Amino acid sequence: MGRIFSVMSGKGGVGKSTLSAALAEYYARMGKRVVLMDGDIGQRCADLMLNLQDRVVYDLGDVAENNCELDQALLAHPRLPALSLLAAPQLLTVSDVKRKEMDKIITALSENSDILVLDAPAGIGKGLKNLLGSTAEPVIVATPDDVSIRDAERVNAMLRNLEEPSASLVLNRVHPLWVRKGLIPTPEQIALALDLPLAGVIPESPKVYKALLRHETPLGCGDRNMVKAIEVLAARLLGADAPLPEYAPSAMLRFFQRGGEA
Ligand SMILES: Nc1ncnc2c1ncn2[C@@H]1O[C@H](COP(=O)(O)OP(=O)(O)O)[C@@H](O)[C@H]1O
Ligand SMILES: [Mg+2]
């Protein structure tokens, strides 16, 4: 049975699918057998993130409804055979896929992979709850603003109430300069406020959105800082002690902030 990372958030649009796809691709490039499962029923998008949208025949809903075998719905990446995708249904709703079916699919996928990445829907609704209860390790994604931080707190409180495994935090879309200027709290301050261990800090990068527009994967976006941050996140999720980026104010900035005094 492999590791399962369940990528979730309180607020939508914080980068769960982007980071799930990047992590899945990264682990597969490292030689792990990886499955990315799009758990956002009705809001399929992981296929687009991996540029596999023209190849999807069956999806998670077909497996749940016994229209096909799980193997038939698993889509191997043509350039990266270690990476497979289980696409989300587009036309079903959350209530159409029963929790029991979801559990069965997640267990079967994790038995046949080293790493299973579950790209969860936003919020603390049924869509997320249907994905819980397995041995998945929750990874909460937030952006460094109060709305997203507050919503992350709610997800974490729900996980704790349900006695789920403890979560780790990934801060996405962090502007290093804004942290250095003190416009946003440091990632460590946010993690402390949420009482969550910090697994990763991913920089804001215009190349991520450009990659999406060009149907390139987030990991293939061409931003070295982004790729490095995913590498650190991937390592830390597996328990390695990879250092997080230092966003302390630079000596030059401190000099200017003090008004140029030596
Ligand atoms: N680090 C980043 N820098 C810039 N844009 C990002 C970053 N991460 C995600 N995005 C963009 O944010 C938008 C929402 O991302 P997505 O992964 O779909 O969020 P979610 O799955 O949480 O709803 C997308 O347009 C994506 O390209
Ligand atoms: Mg998403």
DSSP codes of every residue in the chain: --EEEEEE-SSTTSSHHHHHHHHHHHHHHTT--EEEEE--TT---HHHHTT-TTT--S-HHHHHTTSS-HHHH-EE-SS-TTEEEEPPPSS--GGGS-HHHHHHHHHHHHHT-SEEEEEPPSSSSHHHHTT-SSSPEEEEEE-SSHHHHHHHHHHHHHHHHTTPPPPEEEEEEE-HHHHHHTSS--HHHHHHHHT--EEEEEE--HHHHHHHHTT--GGGS--HHHHHHHHHHHHHHTT--PPPPP-SPPHHHHHHHTTS--
> Which atom of ligand 1 is found nearest the CA of 18?
17
* Residue 262 within any structural domain of the chain: no
**Tokens standing for residue 71:** 């193997």
- Is the separation of the CB atoms in 26 and 234 below 8 Å? yes
> What pLDDT, on a 0 to 100 scale, did the predictor assign at position 248?
64
* Residue 71 within any structural domain of the chain: yes
* Residue 148 within any structural domain of the chain: yes
* Residue 39 within any structural domain of the chain: yes
Q: Whole domain around residue 117: which residue ranges?
A: 3-257
Mutate which of 41, 208, 224 for ligand 1 pocket (most atoms within 8 A of beta carbon):
208
Number of folded domains in the chain? 1
At 113-142, the pLDDT tens digits run 999 999 999 999 999 999 998 789 999 999
Pocket of ligand 1 (CB under 6 A): 9, 12-18, 122, 172-173, 202, 204-205, 208-209, 212
> Which atom of ligand 1 is found nearest the CA of 206?
4
Q: Which residues, including other chains, have CB under 8 Å from residue 258's CB and lie 6 or more apart?
A: none
CA 186 to ligand 1 center in whole angstroms? 20
Provide the angle, in degrees to the nearest 10, between the axes of the packed helices 187-194 and 146-161: 40
> Which atom of ligand 1 is found nearest the CA of 9?
22
- What is the rounded CA–CA span in Å between residue 73 and residue 65? 12
* Residue 121 within any structural domain of the chain: yes
User: In 3D, which of 179, 180, 176, 177 has the Cα closest to residue 254?
Assistant: 180
Q: Which ligand is nearest to the CA of 41?
A: 2
CATH code, domain with 41: 3.40.50.300
Residue by residue, pLDDT tens for the chain (262 residues) are: 899 999 999 999 999 999 999 999 999 999 999 999 999 999 999 999 999 999 999 999 999 999 999 999 999 999 999 999 999 999 999 989 999 999 999 999 999 999 999 999 999 999 999 999 878 999 999 999 999 999 999 999 999 999 999 999 999 999 999 998 889 999 999 999 999 999 999 999 999 999 999 999 999 999 999 999 999 999 999 999 999 987 765 556 656 656 655 4
* Residue 235 within any structural domain of the chain: yes
CA 18 to ligand 1 center in whole angstroms? 6
* Residue 86 within any structural domain of the chain: yes
If one counts every other C-beta atom within 10 angstroms of the C-beta of residue 54, the result is 7
* Residue 94 within any structural domain of the chain: yes
Residue minimizing CA distance to atom 14 of ligand 1: 13
**Tokens standing for residue 35:** 């499955």
User: In 3D, which of 174, 177, 209 has the Cα closest to residue 188?
Assistant: 174
Q: What's the pTM value of the predicted model, to 2 decimals?
A: 0.94
